[in-house]
Amino acid sequence: MNSRQPIPVVVLAGFLGSGKTTLLNHLLKSSRGTRIGVVVNDFGSIEIDAMKVAGQVGDSMVSLGSGCLCCAVDGSELDVYLERLSRPANRIDVIVIEASGLAEPQELIRMLMAGENPAVRYGGMVEVVDAAEFDATRARHPETDRHLAVADLVVLNKTDRVAAEERARIETVLAGLCPGTPVVPADHGRIDPELLFDRRPWTETRGQLSFEDLMAEFDDGHAEHAHSRYESTEFVSEQALSPRRFIDFLDARPAGLYRIKGYVHFGVPGHDDRYEIHAVGRFLRFTPQPWGRAEPRRTQLVLIGSGADGPALLAGLAACREPEPELQSPDTMWGVLRYVSREPEEAQATSMP
């Protein structure tokens, strides 16, 4: 990741026993070159090399580069840890905050949105739900419904422990508690990391196998590949897209579409930058960037989901093409600009309604 671009900060929430740490360790073991910074347990943090931390860092342990440190840090110090993690020398690509089981995710989101560190930006909130203890958790923690209401993506974990009928019932309840929020089924926290962040290319190693190589080999032989549960649809258009029709497409996207990433060319007068899009669940952010020298003006998108109709998605995107973008009024960009920071140095973000 370009060190000058803000680092996305993803909040991983869920009550005790839901499987947050298991999911986090899966992300770390499956990072394939992505450097993940982790803040855990309200809060303990500092730079974490993902492959060293997988399976070794507990709820009160943090990595300090040369060693580990047990601590219980107050949430008011979050900005301090994010500043350390986001230093260019650390080369961190994404930061994951694993909140404690009793944390208030709304407060975490507020702190991230109000933060003044231009090196980081809010990247969405993921709520992990224990399918086997769903009703008991709601009874014990009535605030569950409030947490689900602000989630951008829900991971329904431990689906291997419930019957198909029970899982369908829980999904129906979730649809009522957080309408429009995608729900990703998982067992043992195995979800595709690309549902949450971009993975860097995994460079081949020479000589002795690295820890990353060994963990990948272990996963190859002992676990179902998470990516086998999802489909990827790619869309490329040499023609600009209508900002209004594209926002309408995003508003109506199916619940099974978990992630959208890539670049969009609108070509509207005064807005000729390329617009990087990052969507996780209902979280959406556009980041305008200058085109590279001799870079062709075109839209390139990757859509990741489960059960989504690929041909229908492509048809919907094709319908967004605009043959004469130069004749469009700048007002047509209003819907897109709702999800763009007003000032370049701000690290704001907005969830789709």
| Res 130: pLDDT | 95
Q: Please state, as a whole number, how many other Cβ atoms lie within 10 Å of the Cβ of residue 12.
A: 25
Q: Please state, as a whole number, how many other Cβ atoms lie within 10 Å of the Cβ of residue 224.
A: 11
Q: Please state, as a whole number, how many other Cβ atoms lie within 10 Å of the Cβ of residue 169.
A: 14
Greatest mean pLDDT among 34-48, 56-70, 310-324, 336-350: 310-324
**Band of the pLDDT at 344, cuts 50, 70, 90?**
very low
pTM metric for this prediction: 0.76
Instruction: Tell me: pLDDT of 221 over 80.
Output: no
Cα gap 328→324, rounded to integer Å: 7
What pLDDT, in 10s, does the model give residues 238-282? Answer: 999 999 999 999 999 888 899 999 999 999 999 999 999 989 888
Give the residue, 212 or 347, on which the prediction is more confident.
212
Contact between 131 and 170 under an 8 Å Cβ cutoff? The reply is yes
| Res 200: pLDDT | 64
| Res 237: pLDDT | 97
Instruction: Tell me: pLDDT of 206 over 50.
Output: no
Instruction: Tell me: pLDDT of 96 over 80.
Output: yes
Of 182, 232, 193, which is closest to residue 26 (Cα–Cα)?
A: 193
Cα gap 320→324, rounded to integer Å: 12
Alpha helices, DSSP H only, in 189-345?
Answer: 211-222, 243-251, 310-318, 334-337
| Res 1: pLDDT | 41
Interval 285-294 mean pLDDT: 92
Interval 348-352 mean pLDDT: 45
* Element counts in the chain: helices (H) and strands (E): 11, 15
Instruction: Tell me: pLDDT of 224 over 80.
Output: no
| Res 115: pLDDT | 80
| Res 4: pLDDT | 60
**Band of the pLDDT at 204, cuts 50, 70, 90?**
very low
Interval 33-54 mean pLDDT: 55
What pLDDT, in 10s, does the model give residues 317-341? Answer: 999 999 999 999 999 999 999 998 6
Contact between 283 and 259 under an 8 Å Cβ cutoff? The reply is no
| Res 88: pLDDT | 87
Q: What is the mean pLDDT of the chain?
A: 79
Give the residue, 3 or 84, on which the prediction is more confident.
84
Longest dimension (CA), the chain: 60
> Angle 78-85/105-114 helices, nearest 10 degrees?
60
Burial 280-289 (b: 16+ CB within 10 A, else e): bbbbbbbbbe
Greatest mean pLDDT among 10-14, 83-87, 103-107, 110-114: 10-14
Interval 148-167 mean pLDDT: 95
**Band of the pLDDT at 22, cuts 50, 70, 90?**
confident
| Res 101: pLDDT | 63
Residue with tokens 């982790």: 38
Interval 115-128 mean pLDDT: 90
Contact between 334 and 248 under an 8 Å Cβ cutoff? The reply is no
Instruction: Tell me: pLDDT of 50 over 70.
Output: no
**Band of the pLDDT at 59, cuts 50, 70, 90?**
very low
Give the residue, 352 or 29, on which the prediction is more confident.
29
